Amino acid sequence: MERPPGKVSFDNRGRVAIVTGVAGGIGWAIAQGFADSGATVYGLDLGAAPAVDERIVVVNADVSDRAQVESSVARIIGKTGGVDVLVNNAAIQPVDSFRPLHQIEPQLLEQMLRINVGGYNWVARSVLPQMIQQQSGVIVNLASAHAWRSSRDVPGYGPTKAANRMQAVQWALDYARQGVRVVSVSPGAIDTPLVRASLEKQGGEGALANRHPLGRLGKPEEIAAAVIWLASPGASFVTATDLEVDGGLGGFGSFADPYMMPSRYEKG
C-alpha cells in the first residue's frame, strides 16, 4: 500500500528572483519553480529559453562580460526596486573538455573559467549592493558533485565547481551581518541536455545512473525544489554551507561493491 508522500508549497509573491543559465534544464526548472510560487523572475542567458513562459523575463546577457552583467542587473533593479534571490547557475562543460589538462585547448579552459567562475563573481557583485541596502537577500550557487570529489578528465569543470562552493562560503562570511545568506547546491548527475551530451564520455546512461545509490539520474525539478527551499524563510539559519542533492552519490565510497544494474538499464 502506497503511503502519502506529503506536500511542500512556497509563497514567493512580491519577491524578485534572478536566475542565470535559464536556457538549460536546471536553470529553467528553477526559474519556473520561482514563478510557480509567485515570484517575479528574470533570467540571464545568451541562449533562448527552452519554452515560452510569460512569467519569466529572459534578458540576453553574457555572464562572463562584467559590463553586460552590471547593466542588465541595474535595469532589473530599476524596474523592480529590489532583488531578493540570485541563483548563479550558468556554467558550461563542453564534450571537448573531457580530457587531461595537457590536452585541453587553452581557449576552452579559459572560457570555462570566465563563465563558470567569473560569471558567478560578476552577477553576485552586481546584486550585492542592493541586498546590502535592503539588509536582506539570498544567493544560491549551483556547484556540483565535482565540488567535493572528482573523476578523471575533468580538469576544467571539476575545479570550477569547487570554486563555486567556496565562493558561496566566502560571500556568506563576508555578508552575514548585512542580512545576506549565501549557500551552494551540489547536484549529482541530472537529466539535462548538458549531461546527455556527454553520456558516452561517462559510460552511458545506465552506468552513470548506477553510480548513484538511488539508481537513476536526478530531475531538474528536484534541484529546483532544493534551491527554492534554501531561498525561503524555512532555511533562515542556513548559510555558508552546501546541500548535496545527488541521490547518495557523495556517500558511496569508491571501495564499495557496486550496485546491481537497475533492470530498466539492462540490455535485453
Are the C-beta atoms of 150 and 192 separated by less than 8 Å?
no
Q: From residue 52, how far is each of 32, 36, 58, 131, 194 by CA, in Å? A: 11, 14, 10, 29, 20
- The CA distance from 261 to 235, in Å, is 36
Asked if residue 213 lies in contact with residue 248, where contact means CB atoms within 8 angstroms, the answer is yes
Q: Given the residues 120, 157, 259, 265, select the one marked as catalytic.
A: 157
Half-sphere exposure of 219 (CA within 13 A, CB side): 3
Residue 181's beta-bridge partner residues? 138
175 is catalytic: no
Instruction: At 182, list the grid cell.
Output: 549565501
- Alpha-carbon gap, residue 163 to 148, rounded angstroms: 10
- How many Å apart are CA 219 and CA 25, to the nearest integer? 9
What are the residue numbers of the active site?
157
